[in-house]
Amino acid sequence: MVDIEIVNIKKSGKFKKVKQYFWNLFIAVDQLGNALLLGDPDETISSRLGKYVRAGTENKFLIFVAMILDKIDPGHCRASIEEDEGKDAVVKIKVK
Ligand SMILES: [Ca+2]
């Protein structure tokens, strides 16, 4: 006979760990994307985008992408800015 243990994954605390695991992977992929786009490998694309917008970029593509993200999550790019990251970017953000 086979014993089947039914574990309530939410109550066991494993759900929180699984969620954290996928969130960590999402951040890692986001930062890999930023590194591939010549940014700092420790900064998310949203942070970098937020800095470009704050610096007054006139790049229509960047403004468009930021606008889409802000439609999904109001204030997303500015709220995502990591002030302590960006120093290792290959292409740095010019501030006016
Ligand atoms: Ca970081």
Report if residue 30 sits inside a domain.
yes
Report if residue 3 sits inside a domain.
no
Report if residue 21 sits inside a domain.
yes
For 64, the domain range is 9-79
Report if residue 42 sits inside a domain.
yes
CA of 55 to the centre of ligand 1 (A): 20
pLDDT tens, position by position, 67-94: 999 999 999 999 999 999 999 999 987 7
**Number of domain units in the chain:** 1
CA of 5 to the centre of ligand 1 (A): 39
Report if residue 87 sits inside a domain.
no
CA of 3 to the centre of ligand 1 (A): 45
pLDDT tens, position by position, 24-63: 999 999 999 999 999 999 999 999 999 999 999 999 999 9
Q: What are the DSSP calls for 9-78, one per residue?
A: HHHHSHHHHHHHHHHHHHHHHHHHHHHHTTS-TTS-HHHHHHHHHHTT---HHHHHHHHHHHHHSTTHHH
